[in-house]
Amino acid sequence: MKNRNVAIIGSGMSKFSSHREEVNQPEMIHEAVAAALADAQLGLDDVDCVLHGNMELFEMVHQPDMWHVIADGGWGKSGFRLTTGGTTGATLACAADNLVASGLHDVVLAIGFEKLQEGHTTGGITNMADPLWGRSLQTGALTGTGAQKVIDEFGVERARLAAMKYRTIMDEHAMRNRNAHRRLRLERQYIKETAENSPPLAGELRMIHMCSQSDGACAAIFASEDKVRQFGANPAWIVDHETVHREETMIFGSQVSTQRIAAERLFGRHAIGNPREAVDVFEMYDPSAWWGLDWLRDFLLLEGDEHLKMVENGEIALDGTFPVNPSGGVIASNPIGATALVRVVEAAMQIRGTAGEHQVSKPVRRALASGFGGTLWTVLMLLSKEKPACGGVAHE
Amino acid sequence: MSKEKQDAELIVSRQVISVPQRFSTGPVMGRFLQELRDNKRIMASKCPQCARHHVPPREVCAICHVEATGWDELKQEGTVRDFDVVYYASPDPLTGETRRAPYVICWVDLDGTQGDAPFWHLLDVDDLSKVQRGVRVRVVFADERHGTTEDILHFAIIEDSASENQ
Amino acid sequence: MANRVAICAVAQTPFSANKWDVRAQGLVWEVVREVREQTGLGFGKDAIQAAVTVSDDVFDARTISDGAITDVVGAHYGAEEKVAADGAQGVYYAAATVLSGHHDVVLLVGHCKESQSASRNMVTHLAFDPFYTRPVGLDYLCAAALQAQAYMARSDVTEDQLADVVVRARRNAAKNPVAQETRAVTREEVLASPMVADPIREAFMYPVSDGAVAMILASERRAQEITDKPVWITGLGNCYDSFFLGERDLAGNFTLERAAQRAYAMAGISMPGKTFDVVEIADQYAHQLPQYAEGLGLCDTNGGGPWLAADGPDKQNVNLSGGMLAGNPLMLGGLVRVAEAVIQLRGEAGEQQVSNARRAVAHGATGPAGQLQTVVVLEN
């Protein structure tokens, strides 16, 4: 039973781009922190705890929260640093939720960041492999096995088109998100040609399908119910979260995906049998169009080709019945240590009605956000507009 | 501030950072690497409860949460379960070398393996069309071995099975 | 606080300078197996529900290094979150996950092998900004040396007194079954050890160390089912100082005073100098023992010298475990302090047992010269 309620009351992001050479790491983080405080209409004095996370081996800074205290407002405050690879940002959101729910803290500022341009991205990811075995085999996050899985099940023509349709819709969303890193202006009529002309990376995974490598920081302010009231804030309530890791192999084989396990557990706790109806918008951590397409089925507890149809029929578009990644998702912007937090923040923005040009058309009562990383790990978080009954039981 | 002044002031600091490491292998991984190096044997750990293999070996069975105390030698032929044709080669983070692309990595169920324990390595192939799931492959060892991933050069397709699949 | 959280079991590997014969997975398994045996707990909804791990990608030289131990900590299709700071931060965070109501039983495990890198100073050097403090040559050792210079100048603590701190640490360590540096030394030997970073001599430094620690934390209801000797976490506090050493009062205790205040307020403690039966301070360097004793309120501000002279450490049962000077890796110092305090409060400290030990304070430090410090109050 959750001890007390927690809400996101403000958020901010730095500009995401491939080369933020005009700022150093603390300066970049400060952009997000200042924006979050402005959004929440708070000052640093209102914050009592600062959370920080990223993936150290990208920038090769040890314990970067030490240096970054000059920019994140942590001086004199409580704080923690959590790191779980690609899921870091979502883990930070879970941690903020836990810390405020615990009663130990009232207002927690969570910050995820990455400055990929300062290091070597694929090298950094390859270093997640065991140094004793596999480090010379791993190819960063590039694998065609995800695409092949979809192709095996649905045939190469249909699969390729669906993946590109997904990709194109993601770009359409990014075109309405001024903060997004890559905004390509892809057109639906050229889906087939765009895919065919895009250089293959591994198997049927092509450059066009793959996520960005971005510099960026994201900050979010989590507050207790009392503080929400005291501040007169506009809250997005954290209902619940679930973290599912896997052993150290990069292939599911015959095992169930962590996406499905996370969804089964999280929705199961809240008696949600049909997530597609119960949830209004989903910010999914989609490292590639193929995985984004494939995981829809597991996250929404669907069967057969229902997920493909959702994409083919455009239901996942901004004005669709089940918008996915109105922000443009990870394919558009991927500052890795921040990326999973951005998913939570974008979901919160949809609930709070602050997403501006990429606000979805339909009213948003419940939003879902996912993080991905490690050896196919998942972090899943459910947010709501209405305050959960204490204990986080969802309203019907 | 004028644009010229701004551009002139953007200093970038280039550094190469290296911290030499000495990784322990421990008795489990150490035995695996030793057997590769000294005897050209591929050893797997085995869970005493579910009999699942792990290759390379693990200290603990992830499913049963007990020490994987069993050891079995795996056969050196197997079936390709899945593979990746990699077109974009990134530099090895340790050596800085880049493999010639395209190259193939594969996950192989070595004969005799129990449970989900595909073995991961390169696949040497001259004709990409021969690479399919289900194809039979065998391990090719390097002549000089040091107890590393490179003690195994790659998998090679067992030629008669490749022609059967075509 | 609506909920309460207790530590139900602890396990430590023996600490040693070079555990070349075991890798992280093996180290972690040793302590996970032990706490599971102590409590009879497996993994799952009605057993250990999640893991909080403590380690660091740069020390481990591996991206997402917690990925190596997923199976060992029961997180395959389970939950694990990694705290990348001193292990006392892991205790705080793990306690929060239980107090939040999200989990009832959590496994906390930290591991670090300082021997793996050519030098731990090469690792901590990377905590400094690439433009100025790093090229100037700072690492945590140099930062501690600057702190020691400042503190000794203000406090009049002498080198002789610091040598006695080390002599005492060894004497206590010799009675601790997991301690690393147990060989007795004399004051003369300590003072003859080479100067590494003035005024820090080799013998004043925490030795290079490898090891792992595991604990099981549980909510009140579950703790009482799991053990008949729960140790309650009644106070938690931490605080960051600024980064640039020149901006900090290195001789003072800005960060520790605030961390302690927060922990003591939560635990209802107003006289720390008279309250604790057991004290465990993460003394990475000998001068930090009196300095942090001041910060914890065990003696007056600037009173570290007189405190040492009046046998304060013995009178207040400080670092009966041998402290960090006996040998713990950087990432685990505070976690070991909590573990040793728990062992005392469970009455399992053998030769070193303080009779009727009811309340303890444990401390950890992260970053250059204790930029981030953590205080944990424990009671049985």
User: How do residues A175-191 score in pLDDT, each as one tens digit?
Assistant: 999 999 999 999 888 88
**Of all helices (H) and strands (E), which one includes residue A123?**
helix A121-126
What confidence tier does B4 reach under pLDDT thresholds 50, 70, 90?
A: low
A247 neighbourhood in chain B, CB within 8 Å: 58, 62
A126 neighbourhood in chain B, CB within 8 Å: 90, 92-93
Give the number of domains in chain B. 1
* Distance, first Cα to last Cα, chain C: 17
> Can you name the residues that pair with A10 across neighbouring β-strands?
A221
C101-137 burial: b if 16+ Cβ within 10 Å, else e:
bbbbbbbbbbbbbbbbbeebbbbbbbbbbbeebbeee
C72 touches B at CB < 8 Å: yes
pLDDT of residue B90: 78
Of B22, B16, A86, A82, nearest in space to C61 by CA: B22
> How many Cβ contacts (< 8 angstroms) between chains B and C?
65
| Same domain membership, residue A162 and residue A303 | yes
C70:B62 CB<8 A: yes
Q: Is the pLDDT of residue B118 over 50?
A: yes
C126 touches B at CB < 8 Å: yes
Q: Is the pLDDT of residue B1 over 60?
A: no
Decide: C374 and C88 in contact? Cβ < 8 Å. yes
pLDDT of residue C1: 45
Residue from B12, B19, B47 to probe the interface with C (highest C Cβ count within 10 Å)? B19
B84 neighbourhood in chain A, CB within 8 Å: 139, 142-145, 202-203
B20 touches C at CB < 8 Å: yes
| Same domain membership, residue A160 and residue A24 | no
Q: Do the strands A49-53 and A205-206 form a parallel or antiparallel pair, or are they unpaired?
A: unpaired
B27 touches C at CB < 8 Å: yes
d(CA C125, CA A59): 14
B19:C19 CB<8 A: no
pLDDT of residue A393: 36
What confidence tier does A19 reach under pLDDT thresholds 50, 70, 90?
A: confident
Nearest to B121 among A132, A137, A247 (CB): A137
A2 neighbourhood in chain C, CB within 8 Å: 100-102
| Same domain membership, residue A305 and residue A184 | yes
B70 touches A at CB < 8 Å: no
d(CA A17, CA A40): 25
From C139, which residue of chain A is nearest by alpha-carbon distance?
A62
Q: Which residue has the higher pLDDT, B91 or A26?
A: A26
Query: In sequence order, what are the residues at sequence separation of 6 or more whose Cβ sits closer than 8 angstroms to the Cβ of residue B14?
Result: none
CATH code of A15's domain? 3.40.47.10
Among A231, A265, A287, residue at a domain's last position: A231
Chains that touch B (3 or more CB pairs under 8 A): A, C
Q: Which residue has the higher pLDDT, B8 or A68?
A: A68
C64:A1 CB<8 A: no
Query: In sequence order, what are the residues at sequence separation of 6 or more whose Cβ sits closer than 8 angstroms to the Cβ of residue A196?
Result: none
A128 found inside a domain: no
| Å between B12 CA and nearest CA of chain C | 9
B66 neighbourhood in chain C, CB within 8 Å: none
Q: Do the strands C50-54 and C105-113 form a parallel or antiparallel pair, or are they unpaired?
A: parallel
C61 neighbourhood in chain A, CB within 8 Å: 127, 131
Give the number of domains in chain A. 2
Q: Do the strands C359-366 and C278-280 form a parallel or antiparallel pair, or are they unpaired?
A: parallel
Q: Which of A145-149, A245-249, A378-382 has the highest mean pLDDT?
A: A378-382
Total residue count of chain A as it appears in this document: 396
Q: Tokens at residue C20, please?
A: 């070349």
| Same domain membership, residue A141 and residue A60 | no
pLDDT of residue A254: 66
Average pLDDT over residues C235-264: 98
From A260, which residue of chain C is nearest by alpha-carbon distance?
C77
What confidence tier does A391 reach under pLDDT thresholds 50, 70, 90?
A: low
- For chain A, the residues whose C-beta falls within 8 A of a C-beta of chain B are 21-22, 60, 120, 122-124, 126-127, 130-137, 139-140, 142-145, 148, 199-203, 247-251, 253-255
Among A177, A199, A231, residue at a domain's last position: A231
Nearest to C84 among A81, A86, A261 (CB): A81
Average pLDDT over residues B96-116: 90
| Same domain membership, residue A317 and residue A355 | yes
Query: In sequence order, what are the residues at sequence separation of 6 or more whose Cβ sits closer than 8 angstroms to the Cβ of residue C198?
Result: C145, C149
C92 touches B at CB < 8 Å: no
Average pLDDT over residues A110-114: 97
Residue type, A245: H
| Same domain membership, residue A141 and residue A36 | no
Average pLDDT over residues A87-106: 98
C115 neighbourhood in chain B, CB within 8 Å: 22
| Same domain membership, residue A161 and residue A65 | no
Q: Is the pLDDT of residue B3 over 60?
A: no
B5 found inside a domain: no
What is the CA B30 to chain-centroid distance, rounded? 16
**Burial of residue C241 (number of CB atoms within 10 Å: 0-12, 13-18, 19+):** buried
Average pLDDT over residues B42-61: 96
| Å between A149 CA and nearest CA of chain C | 21
Q: Do the strands B77-86 and B70-74 form a parallel or antiparallel pair, or are they unpaired?
A: unpaired
d(CA A11, CA A276): 26
B61:C23 CB<8 A: no
A1 found inside a domain: no
pLDDT of residue C185: 97
| Same domain membership, residue A202 and residue A95 | no
Q: Tokens at residue A36, please?
A: 């979050």
* Mean pLDDT estimate for chain C: 97
Beta strands of C126-176 (E only): which ranges? none
pLDDT of residue B13: 85
What confidence tier does C321 reach under pLDDT thresholds 50, 70, 90?
A: very high
B4 found inside a domain: no
| Å between A105 CA and nearest CA of chain B | 35
A135:B94 CB<8 A: yes
B59 found inside a domain: yes
Of C334, C367, C347, nearest in space to C93 by CA: C334
Q: Is the pLDDT of residue C117 over 90?
A: yes
Neighbours of B38 (CB within 10 A): 11
CA pseudo-torsion sign A287, A289, A292, A297: negative
Average pLDDT over residues C255-259: 98
Q: Domain span at residue A73?
A: 6-122+213-231
Domains and CATH numbers, chain C: 5-118+208-226 (3.40.47.10)
Average pLDDT over residues A204-210: 96
pLDDT of residue B2: 54
A254 neighbourhood in chain B, CB within 8 Å: 116
Using H for helix, E for strand and C for coil, what is the string for B90-148? CCCCCCCCCCCCCEEEEEEEECCCCCCCCEEEEEECCCHHHCCCCCEEEEEECCCCCCC
Q: Is the pLDDT of residue C256 over 60?
A: yes
A64 found inside a domain: yes
Average pLDDT over residues A233-251: 92
Decide: B130 and B99 in contact? Cβ < 8 Å. no
A326 found inside a domain: yes
* Mean pLDDT estimate for chain A: 93
B85 neighbourhood in chain A, CB within 8 Å: 144, 200, 202-203
pLDDT of residue B165: 47
Nearest to A144 among B10, B62, B84 (CB): B84
B17 found inside a domain: no
Chain B stretch 57-76, residues whose beta carbon is closer than 8 A to a beta carbon of chain C? 58-63, 65, 67
Residue type, C204: F
C127 neighbourhood in chain A, CB within 8 Å: 61-64, 66-67
Average pLDDT over residues C84-109: 98
| Same domain membership, residue A310 and residue A175 | yes
From A118, which residue of chain B is nearest by alpha-carbon distance?
B14
From A142, which residue of chain B is nearest by alpha-carbon distance?
B86
Q: Is the pLDDT of residue C33 over 60?
A: yes
Q: Is the pLDDT of residue C273 over 90?
A: yes
Decide: A362 and A371 in contact? Cβ < 8 Å. no
pLDDT of residue A392: 44
What confidence tier does B6 reach under pLDDT thresholds 50, 70, 90?
A: low
| Å between A301 CA and nearest CA of chain C | 17
From A204, which residue of chain B is nearest by alpha-carbon distance?
B85
The verdict on ipTM greater than 0.95 is yes
pLDDT of residue A318: 97
Average pLDDT over residues A283-309: 97
Among A231, A264, A291, residue at a domain's last position: A231
What confidence tier does B149 reach under pLDDT thresholds 50, 70, 90?
A: confident
Chains that touch C (3 or more CB pairs under 8 A): A, B
From B82, which residue of chain A is nearest by alpha-carbon distance?
A145
Q: Tokens at residue A378, please?
A: 């998942």
B134 found inside a domain: yes
Nearest to C241 among A4, A24, A75 (CB): A75
Q: Domain span at residue B36?
A: 23-165
> How many Cβ contacts (< 8 angstroms) between chains A and B?
91
Decide: B84 and A144 in contact? Cβ < 8 Å. yes
pLDDT of residue A130: 81
B64 found inside a domain: yes
What confidence tier does A119 reach under pLDDT thresholds 50, 70, 90?
A: confident
B61:C74 CB<8 A: no
Average pLDDT over residues A266-270: 97
Q: Tokens at residue C157, please?
A: 């603590």
Neighbours of A363 (CB within 10 A): 10
pLDDT of residue A131: 80
B33 touches A at CB < 8 Å: yes
d(CA C254, CA C260): 10
Average pLDDT over residues C318-331: 98
pLDDT per residue as tens digits for the range C121-142: 999 999 999 999 999 999 999 9
pLDDT per residue as tens digits for the range C171-187: 999 999 999 999 999 99
C67 touches B at CB < 8 Å: no
Average pLDDT over residues A82-110: 97
A376 neighbourhood in chain C, CB within 8 Å: none
| Same domain membership, residue A317 and residue A247 | yes
Q: Is the pLDDT of residue A83 over 50?
A: yes
Nearest to A247 among C64, C71, C237 (CB): C71
Average pLDDT over residues A256-281: 97
| Same domain membership, residue A225 and residue A140 | no
From C25, which residue of chain B is nearest by alpha-carbon distance?
B59
| Same domain membership, residue A217 and residue A200 | no
